[in-house]
Structure 1
Amino acid sequence: MGAILLLSGFGIVMMYSASSIYAMNEYDDYLYFFLRQTRWLIIGTVLMFLIGQMNYRHLKELAYVLIFFSWIFLIMGYFFKGNNPASRWLVLGGRSWMTTSDFARVSLIIFTAYFVEKNKKYLKDWKFLLFRFTPILGISLVLILFQPDTSTTMIIAAIIMVMLFIAGTDWRYLTGLSIAGVIALILKIMNTPHAMDRFLNW
């Protein structure tokens, strides 16, 4: 807890140092961004403490509910994005409330943990995984990928792959999933001009 608060506090100070002049020019208040971030830091710390008192095992009972709502939020991001060119933020009432992929990331991690625990005896059955797990993973990743948010999609996919590998999932399924992911990523980059430019520059 101490390390988290220390790092968060350091980040707030650095953010203030980098944004104070811009905040003064745009909002006539040096502390505009500092106060906003501090408020969310306090809210987040309180929520972290409260959730930390919960028995995390109860979260598996909400696995499908969390996935469902993550899809709702991701879809809402496409329609309620304000003036943002991308659909990563959910904007309601002129305010950005959340990055929808953050909720989807947590939901997928919880769902994957629940799925592998419940279906331990089927983790070597690639056909079972293909029809019971892949659609849920695929829908979430596609909705994030076309926000567009390629980097977050790759990070979430990597996390889920590591979880499946540690759980002892069939290597053929993991290999096929990896190949499909790489192909989808290549096609997305090739059909997204700015992503292709960034890739070539890299």
Structure 2
Amino acid sequence: MKKLLRPLPGMDLPFLILVLTLVGFGLVMLASASSAVALYRRGDAWAYLRPQLLYAALGLCGMWLASRVDYHIFHKLAWPLLGLSLILLAAVLFMPEYNGCRRWLVIPGFGTLQPSEIAKFAVVLVFSHIIALNHDRMKDFSVGVLPFALVLGVVAALMLLEPHLSGTVLILGIGAVLMFVGGTGLRWFLLAGAGGVGAIGAAVAVMPDLVPYAADRLRSWLDPFADPLGDGHQTIQSLYAIGSGGATGLGLGESRQKHLFVPEPQNDFIFSIVCEELGFVGACAVVGLFVLLLCRGITIAAHAPDRFGALLVVGFVVQVALQAVLNVAVVTNTIPNTGISLPFFSSGGTSLMMLLGEMGVVLGVSRGEM
């Protein structure tokens, strides 16, 4: 305890301000976007906001603690956390389905836990650990490709069984960025592309249930209006919300689409409510905050005391940025609907607490040598 309370070098204040701004902005928008659906489903307009406030408070405490811990401890925790995440990813497959997926573990007295959030954290730790220890040999297949491919292959297979396509794409993207930054030879990425095509073919053969799931998502993306009351309903209502916002929006709290038109306004499609209530200006503000977070994170990584710290920062800020990009792309129907949340905005305790813990690690690296 004395070690946590001892004087430490100052953390990066611009990054801290950006994180706190995103958390505050996200809570305000969640309060507005979730009120109608919470009142309808649970008879309480604050049913989604109230637990999110608790998770935010716990997450901020976790962020403060993580910022004061010597991040080198994650060298020792990387593999155990990956093992734990794999166990949880396997356990979730035996949980009841929700909207055709098995992504949450139900913990009596606590709520739900999404193992994929822990898996993202673990993948960043393990990849940073391996690269930091073997950075001089990253051009070799046995060091710069094989261990990463094995980890990503196991994690991706378990997540596809849920199925969780967006989470799989996100983890593969994070892994690819860390491998590239770590020095993996470019030729291996070309071969990985060819291998990815083969992996998709294998997934189709081994997991035939994935085919109709993916095919339905693809059809509703290409023409959501072909099934306006079925698969295309969510996308159509999202586009209506975005279009009706105009330049400056209808005003905070004035969304019409959140009144049971957009099916998940408190979660995956909260960005459409942001666009409707705050307009193009508000949407640009949200995107701008994520861009600034990424840029500041890269600056922190460039000045990190060592390679391991730099890789941790890159992994965590790229995760946030890539997840935000995928969410905005889904909401605007730029890519098929894959069910991915908007960091700091969407309802979800596991996601928010893990995100804030990761941001705490970034702030810890920004302190320099401890």
Q: Please give the residue correspondences for 1:30-179 in structure 2 after superposition, counting only pairs within 5 Å.
A: 30-79=45-94, 81-84=95-98, 85-93=100-108, 96-129=111-144, 131-179=146-194
Question: In structure 1, what residue type is equivalent to 2:34?
Answer: S
TM-score, normalisation: structure 1: 0.88
Letter in 2 for 1:199: L
Are 1:82 and 1:94, in contact at CA under 8 Å, matched by a contact in 2? no
Counterpart contact for 1:112–1:163, Cα < 8 Å:
yes
Q: Distance in 1 between matches of 2:216 and 2:198?
A: 18
Equivalent residue letter for 1:150: L
Match of 1:192, SS state, is helix
Cα distance in 1 for partners of 2:64, 2:44 equals 31
Determine helix, strand or coil for the equivalent of 2:69: coil
How many residues were matched structurally?
Answer: 201
Q: SS of 1:119's equivalent?
A: helix
Q: Which amino acid aligns with 1:35?
A: R
Distance, in Å, in 1 between the alignment partners of 2:218 and 2:141 is 33
Structure 1 runs of 4+ with >6 Å offset: none
Tell me: CA distance 1:184–1:39, structure 2 relative to 1, closer, same or farther (3 Å): same
Moved more, 107-116 or 24-33: 24-33
What CA distance in whole angstroms lies between the structure 1 residues aligned with 2:195 and 2:76? 30
Cα pair distance change 1:64/1:147, threshold 3 Å: same
- Specify the code of the residue in structure 1 equivalent to 2:134: N
- Structure 1 window deviating more from structure 2 (183-192 vs 131-140): it is 183-192
Is 1:21 matched up with 2:36? yes
Greater relative CO (CA pairs within 8 A, separation 6+): 2
Tell me the TM-score normalized by structure 2: 0.50
SS of structure 2 residue aligned to 1:46: helix
Residues 94, 49 of structure 1: alpha-carbon distance in 2 compared, 3 angstrom cutoff: closer
* Shift in Å, 1:106: 0.8
Q: 1:18 to 1:132 in 2, by over 3 A?
A: closer
Stretches of structure 1 that go unaligned for 5 or more consecutive residues are none
The one-character-per-residue Cα deviations of 1:132-163 (angstroms, maximum 9, x if unpaired) are: 33222211111112211111111111111111
Q: SS of the residue aligned with 2:184?
A: coil
Deviation at 1:94, TM superposition (A): 7.8
* Bigger shift: residues 185-194 or 167-176: 185-194
State the secondary structure of the residue aligned to 1:91. strand
Alpha carbon RMSD of aligned pairs, Å?
2.2
The aligned residue for residue 217 of structure 2 is 198
Report deviation, 1:186. 6.0
Instruction: Tell me: CA distance 1:75–1:94, structure 2 relative to 1, closer, same or farther (3 Å).
Output: farther
Deviation for aligned residue 1:130 = 5.0
Q: Distance in 2 between matches of 1:177 and 1:98?
A: 32
Moved more, 129-138 or 64-73: 129-138
Q: What secondary structure sits across from 1:32 in the alignment?
A: coil
Shift of 1:3: 2.3
Q: Secondary structure in 2 aligned to 1:112?
A: helix
Instruction: Using the TM superposition, give the Cα deviation of residue 128 of structure 1 relative to its aligned residue in structure 2, in angstroms.
Output: 4.4
- Kept after mapping to 1: 8 A contact 2:144/2:179: no
Give the drift of 1:167: 1.4
Task: State percent identity of aligned pairs.
Answer: 28
- SS across alignment from 1:124: coil
Question: Does structure 1 residue 6 correspond to structure 2 residue 21?
Answer: yes
Residues 78 and 147 in structure 1, CA contact (< 8 A), matched pair in contact too: yes
* 1:172-191 matched pairs, under 5 angstroms: 172-185=187-200, 188=203, 191=210
